[in-house]
Chain A
Amino acid sequence: MEHGILSAIVWTPFLGALVLLLMPTRNENVLRWSAFVLSLVPLLLSLRMLQLFDPAVGSLQLSENAAWMPSLGVNYALGVDGFSLWLILVTTLLLPIILVSGWHDIDKRLKEFLFFMLLLEWGMLGALCATDLFLFFTFWELMLFPMAFVIGVWGGPRRRYAAIKFVLYTMAGSALMMVAMVYVVLRQAAATGKLSFDIVSLYGTPLTYAEQLACFAAFAIAFMIKVPMVPLHTWLPDAHTEAPTGGSVDLAGVLLKMGAYGFLRFALPMFPAAAQDAFPWIMLLAVVGILYGAMVAFPQPDMKRLVAYSSVSHMGFVMLGLYAFNTIGITGSVLQMVNHGLSTGALFILVGYVYHRRHTRQISEYGGLWGIVPVFSALLLVVTFSSVSLPGTNGFVGEFLILLGAFRAHPWAGSIATIGVVLGAGYMLTMFQRVIFGPVTNEENRALHDLNAREVWALVPIIALIFWIGLYPNPFLRRIEPTTRVLLERLRAAGATRHLADEDRRVSPTAAAAALGASPAHAAEPAHPAEPAHAAGGAHP
């Protein structure tokens, strides 16, 4: 254990949850403040992790390793790389925001709610930090239950159905993943004589093609359910709609990303040949998901359900970029996971604000809110346009990179997916319009009071990030890209090169210079993203 920072990040929420549980008080404000302060600890620690993180390194870093179940080769191993770094930060950032934004939302069993939210954070952080397959699987399953409780106890009228659907869907997927996981580990042990669940050593497992295919399928189904990819998505609208605001935010913000993250961390590098051959299918499902999610979102009468289906569409983009198999696409896809977490999280918080006031999420119940709650409307406007990826907001950068990458991988998939950009504007603006514009049709809305300072401040960090990532995404991209390269190198080394675009191969400086008629510094530069030396347009004085 060289660092311990990751352990600290993972375990402080757990300790926080215990502290909260053992707190003798019934005073709700004390509980809220305690939870808020406790949730700041992992946030600060993860900021420290960001500081320690070396952007130039693409492989796992800040690693920790300790024996856990020696007879099985299971270790308590943590690490972070460009894929997990930002997701960890989103996770730790979202909890304080959830707590502040929903300060008065929970009207029963507050202590348990806060306990489960911290426990959920623990599970998510554990899954993101784990670099041991067993440890990952443990957290993967563990985070299921706090979420199920949050949905089932504090959710809407169909909360129990939603919770059980959520759990069963996920468990059905992870059941097969468990068998495949065991199989891979055993194959690796047969080859090396050593049982190990260490992810990096499992990357090199010698598997026949048929074995790869079967194991990839098992992993992929588990992850596809989580993403969720059509047609394995129907748990999501129910879970989102029934969950309380905080649950929805975490669900959209982090939980869904676990699926895509699983592909990057496990399914692709462990089974490169099978992953490569799944290319047409995943591409197809991603594109179908983009369009289908957008289309089903369009007629939804319930705001949360609409946003939930929009998540299906957005996550389709993420999968599309991920399967572009090039640096641009995958980097964009990882960034888009962060973006979607922020934008959709903010959308759910905003929906929660009006829901808390009016106790309905039916779009038809609203209308004309601009004149009544202008601050709310303005924030919703910003977030809506972030969600439809207007340039200048975070969504654009991610979507641009994803589509650019996808275009390289499969021009047709890229082209059709681009239609999603139009449909996204269609459903989001329709909702925005029906809620915010038009005459005030429901007299009850006239009494709505605008957001107070707490509610606004809860969203300020997200709004700031929306513009930051939109206008200056390089600090984010710079830390993702090296890891993307490592993954692609791994795929290349494994011979899974059929869909690998040669976009990554450095253009030789002289050739590019000749082509551009400019100084060679420009073409050589992509290798050093941090350097500011070249001017746009390739023209140098």
Chain B
Amino acid sequence: MIQVPFGTAEWQSIAPFSLVAIGGMIALLWSVFAEERPGTTSVMWMSQAGLAAGLAATIALLGSEKASFGGTFAQDGVSLLANLVFLLSASMTMFMAQGHLESMGVRAREFYPLVLFATSGMMVMGAARDLVILFLGIEVMSLAAYVLAGIHRRDPGSTEAALKYFVLGAFATCFLLYGIAAFYGATGATDYDGIRAGLASAPRAALIGGVALLVVALGFKAAIVPFQAWTPDVYQGAPTAVTAFMSVGVKAAAFVGITRLFLDGLGPLHLDWQRILWVLAVLTMTVGNVLALVQGNVKRMLAYSSIAHAGYLLAGVAVGTSRSGGAVLLYLLTYAFMTLGAFGVLIAMGTGEKPNDELEDMRGLADRRPLLAGAMTIFLLSLTGIPPLAGFVGKLYVVEAAVSSGWFWLAILLVLNSAVAAYYYLSVIIAMWMRDPVGDEPAWESRPYLAAALLAAAVGTVLLGLFPSGTLDFARHAFASIVR
């Protein structure tokens, strides 16, 4: 290992995730000492404060791109924008979970600190320019995520989800480690600069093996076909707030990691991996959409939908230009708003007794709760890709990046896939608006934090759709320095 300096730049670059992690620890301690206090609001706010500190640090660093730790830990536009996505999803998740977990009988104060730990892991992943650091980030994130998935301890579904996630996650971690080892063996380095330098002289078999292993490990986190099989089970089993967090935060972190690895570390090999990712992208979006078509459970449908979106994102990675990298980053942001929003609506649907997340439960929602139905409609239309909502611009930029690099078929398959996807999003809209409600109205609770989060998600979905220019420019600019 090369000797790395530890100066101001290093301090600065680790500040965001460190602050979040520290915030998490403080909150954890607080939750232990404040055992007698009823409710979890104070822990939630304390955790939000940790996120805010991380956000402040991130914003403070905007515009001061520099490499730290000898170039193995990036402090650039990509990591900063990715941090925004992670912090946003963590913060919204916590707001949405407020009251939700309690109503299910989960009085788990550790939920909030765990979200913070996971977030700090994501932030590490977003900045990692070294496979070992990437590994660190993944593990920090995953360990917290395993626990989160099982946080509803008395629910067999939740426990099963956690166990599955953990077992398969451990399996994926093996792949990651072997991959790192293969790379080290082939190129003599784990940092991206070193890998780039060593690619030319690396033995082909080791390289291919290494890349395949890394694809499995990262594809597992990002829910890319055929490494996605856990996703529906875990997403459905986990409490909805956790699902939202996993489908946005974890996926985003995985994608930032993938994007960096392929565009940066494996940039010179792009002619090789592009075709593989192309196939995987098309496979992922198609499988996700086709399977989503036949789901009767909205939460599970959204799980498959998140697989489909992983396919769209991977398409952006496969194109492999700074344009497409920027598109992926923007897509992650748009995806965060609309997906969190959609899951948020599902959370709002649930009561203590029943999750109410079947398609049947959505019937007549527009009659009973018009605002909630209206918000859900916005999120679903955005997921469908209707302009001028956020989901459309996300997709548009991926398509634009693909077309501008001559990847027409990828673009066409992407848009055709999104036309197929319209069917299942629309069927939820139809259920909400065009069918009459069945059964008695559930005893919904009023949850101001959730309402605020939904409002924020809706506003974000609309505004980001209407005015994506600044964000996109920033994201593209960030990737311009990465893609060489």
Task: Tell me the A residues contacting B by CB distance below 8 Å.
Answer: 69-72, 109, 112, 134, 137-138, 141-142, 144-145, 148-149, 152-153, 159-160, 163-164, 167-168, 171-172, 175-176, 178-179, 182-183, 186
State the CA gap A141–B422 with chains docked (Å).
12
Question: Would you call B469 and A163 a contact (CB within 8 A)?
Answer: no
Question: Would you call B433 and A153 a contact (CB within 8 A)?
Answer: yes
State the CA gap A176–B408 with chains docked (Å).
10
Interface residue ranges of B221-277 to A (CB < 8 Å): none
Known: A171-B419, A172-B419. A164 touches B426 (CB 8 A): yes
Q: Which of B40-48, B158-166, B303-311, B409-417 contacts A (4 or more CB under 8 A)?
A: B409-417
Given A141-B387, A183-B408, 17 more A-B residue pairs with CB atoms under 8 Å apart are: A69-B469, A71-B473, A72-B469, A112-B366, A142-B386, A142-B388, A149-B433, A152-B434, A164-B426, A167-B422, A168-B426, A171-B419, A178-B396, A179-B399, A179-B403, A186-B403, A186-B404
State the CA gap A179–B427 with chains docked (Å).
25
B318 interface contact, C-beta 8 A: no
State the CA gap A138–B473 with chains docked (Å).
21
- Which residues of A lie under 8 Å from residue B386 when comparing CB positions? 141-142, 144-145
Q: A-B contact count, CB below 8 Å?
A: 83
Question: Would you call A160 and B408 a contact (CB within 8 A)?
Answer: no
State the CA gap A183–B403 with chains docked (Å).
6
CB < 8 Å neighbour of A178 from B404, B415, B427: B415
In the complex, how many residues of chain B place their beta carbon closer than 8 angstroms to a beta carbon of chain A?
Answer: 35
State the CA gap A142–B418 with chains docked (Å).
16
CB < 8 Å neighbour of B435 from A145, A160, A164, A186: A160
CB < 8 Å neighbour of B427 from A141, A164, A176: A164
Question: Would you call A163 and B434 a contact (CB within 8 A)?
Answer: yes
Question: Would you call B434 and A160 a contact (CB within 8 A)?
Answer: yes
Question: Would you call A69 and B435 a contact (CB within 8 A)?
Answer: no
B188 interface contact, C-beta 8 A: no
B283 interface contact, C-beta 8 A: no
State the CA gap A167–B403 with chains docked (Å).
25
B430 interface contact, C-beta 8 A: yes
Question: Would you call B403 and A182 a contact (CB within 8 A)?
Answer: yes
State the CA gap A182–B469 with chains docked (Å).
16
- Which residues of A lie under 8 Å from residue B418 when comparing CB positions? 175
Known: A69-B468, A138-B387, A138-B388. A182 touches B426 (CB 8 A): no
Known: A69-B468, A164-B426. A152 touches B433 (CB 8 A): yes
Known: A72-B469, A183-B403. A163 touches B422 (CB 8 A): no
Distance in Å: Cβ of B245 to nearest Cβ of chain A: 30
State the CA gap A8–B161 with chains docked (Å).
54
Question: Which chain B residue has the least Cβ–Cβ distance from A179?
Answer: B411
- Which residues of A lie under 8 Å from residue B408 when comparing CB positions? 179, 183
- Which residues of B lie under 8 Å from residue A160 when comparing CB positions? 430, 434-435
State the CA gap A72–B411 with chains docked (Å).
18
Question: Would you call A167 and B426 a contact (CB within 8 A)?
Answer: yes
Known: A70-B469, A186-B400, A186-B404. A168 touches B423 (CB 8 A): yes
State the CA gap A168–B423 with chains docked (Å).
7
Known: A152-B434, A164-B426. A175 touches B468 (CB 8 A): no
Question: Which chain A residue has the least Cβ–Cβ distance from B436?
Answer: A108
B467 interface contact, C-beta 8 A: yes
- Which residues of A lie under 8 Å from residue B412 when comparing CB positions? 176, 179
Question: Would you call B430 and A163 a contact (CB within 8 A)?
Answer: yes
Known: A71-B469, A138-B387, A142-B387. A179 touches B415 (CB 8 A): yes
Question: Which chain B residue has the least Cβ–Cβ distance from A190?
Answer: B404
State the CA gap A197–B467 with chains docked (Å).
16
Mask of B387-408 contacts with A, CB within 8 angstroms, 1/0: 1100010001001100110001
State the CA gap A160–B428 with chains docked (Å).
12
- Which residues of B lie under 8 Å from residue A142 when comparing CB positions? 386-388
- Which residues of A lie under 8 Å from residue B427 when comparing CB positions? 164
Interface residue ranges of B350-397 to A (CB < 8 Å): 366-367, 381, 384, 386-388, 392, 396
- Which residues of A lie under 8 Å from residue B399 when comparing CB positions? 178-179, 182
CB < 8 Å neighbour of A159 from B419, B434, B469: B434
Question: Which chain B residue has the least Cβ–Cβ distance from A195?
Answer: B400
Distance in Å: Cβ of B120 to nearest Cβ of chain A: 32
Max count, chain B CB within 10 A of own CB: residue among A69, A70, A112, A164: A69
Q: Which 7 A-B pairs have the closest CB atoms?
A: A175-B415, A138-B387, A152-B434, A71-B469, A69-B469, A175-B419, A171-B419
Max count, chain A CB within 10 A of own CB: residue among B404, B408, B430: B430
State the CA gap A182–B473 with chains docked (Å).
18
B336 interface contact, C-beta 8 A: no
Distance in Å: Cβ of A365 to nearest Cβ of chain B: 26
B472 interface contact, C-beta 8 A: yes
State the CA gap A109–B367 with chains docked (Å).
9
- Which residues of A lie under 8 Å from residue B387 when comparing CB positions? 134, 137-138, 141-142
Distance in Å: Cβ of A239 to nearest Cβ of chain B: 14
CB < 8 Å neighbour of A176 from B366, B392, B415, B434: B415
- Which residues of A lie under 8 Å from residue B473 when comparing CB positions? 71
Distance in Å: Cβ of A209 to nearest Cβ of chain B: 16
What are 22 inter-chain pairs, A to B, with CB distance below 8 A? A69-B467, A109-B367, A112-B366, A134-B387, A138-B387, A141-B386, A141-B387, A141-B392, A144-B386, A145-B386, A148-B426, A163-B430, A163-B434, A164-B426, A171-B422, A172-B419, A176-B415, A178-B396, A178-B415, A179-B412, A182-B399, A186-B400
Question: Would you call B396 and A168 a contact (CB within 8 A)?
Answer: no
- Which residues of A lie under 8 Å from residue B430 when comparing CB positions? 152, 160, 163-164
State the CA gap A171–B415 with chains docked (Å).
9
- Which residues of B lie under 8 Å from residue A171 when comparing CB positions? 384, 419, 422
- Which residues of A lie under 8 Å from residue B384 when comparing CB positions? 171
Question: Would you call A168 and B468 a contact (CB within 8 A)?
Answer: no
Question: Which chain A residue has the least Cβ–Cβ distance from B425?
Answer: A167
Question: Which chain A residue has the least Cβ–Cβ distance from B386?
Answer: A141
- Which residues of B lie under 8 Å from residue A144 when comparing CB positions? 386
Question: Would you call B422 and A168 a contact (CB within 8 A)?
Answer: yes
Distance in Å: Cβ of A325 to nearest Cβ of chain B: 29
- Which residues of A lie under 8 Å from residue B470 when comparing CB positions? 71
Question: Which chain B residue has the least Cβ–Cβ distance from A67?
Answer: B469
Mask of B21-64 contacts with A, CB within 8 angstroms, 1/0: 00000000000000000000000000000000000000000000
State the CA gap A167–B422 with chains docked (Å).
8
Question: Would you call A182 and B396 a contact (CB within 8 A)?
Answer: yes
Distance in Å: Cβ of A450 to nearest Cβ of chain B: 34
State the CA gap A210–B427 with chains docked (Å).
38
Question: Would you call B423 and A164 a contact (CB within 8 A)?
Answer: yes
State the CA gap A190–B448 with chains docked (Å).
50
- Which residues of B lie under 8 Å from residue A109 when comparing CB positions? 367
- Which residues of A lie under 8 Å from residue B396 when comparing CB positions? 178, 182
State the CA gap A214–B128 with chains docked (Å).
42
Question: Which chain A residue has the least Cβ–Cβ distance from B470?
Answer: A71
State the CA gap A141–B399 with chains docked (Å).
17
Distance in Å: Cβ of B408 to nearest Cβ of chain A: 7
CB < 8 Å neighbour of A175 from B416, B426, B435, B469: B416
State the CA gap A522–B61 with chains docked (Å).
77
- Which residues of A lie under 8 Å from residue B403 when comparing CB positions? 179, 182-183, 186
State the CA gap A168–B467 with chains docked (Å).
27
- Which residues of B lie under 8 Å from residue A179 when comparing CB positions? 399, 403, 408, 411-412, 415
Question: Would you call A182 and B411 a contact (CB within 8 A)?
Answer: yes
CB < 8 Å neighbour of A71 from B366, B435, B472: B472
State the CA gap A444–B367 with chains docked (Å).
35
State the CA gap A318–B418 with chains docked (Å).
31
Question: Which chain A residue has the least Cβ–Cβ distance from B472?
Answer: A71
State the CA gap A328–B427 with chains docked (Å).
45
State the CA gap A141–B476 with chains docked (Å).
27
- Which residues of B lie under 8 Å from residue A134 when comparing CB positions? 387
State the CA gap A5–B434 with chains docked (Å).
36
- Which residues of B lie under 8 Å from residue A183 when comparing CB positions? 403, 408
Distance in Å: Cβ of A337 to nearest Cβ of chain B: 25
Max count, chain A CB within 10 A of own CB: residue among B400, B408, B473: B400
Distance in Å: Cβ of A152 to nearest Cβ of chain B: 4
CB < 8 Å neighbour of A168 from B419, B434, B435: B419
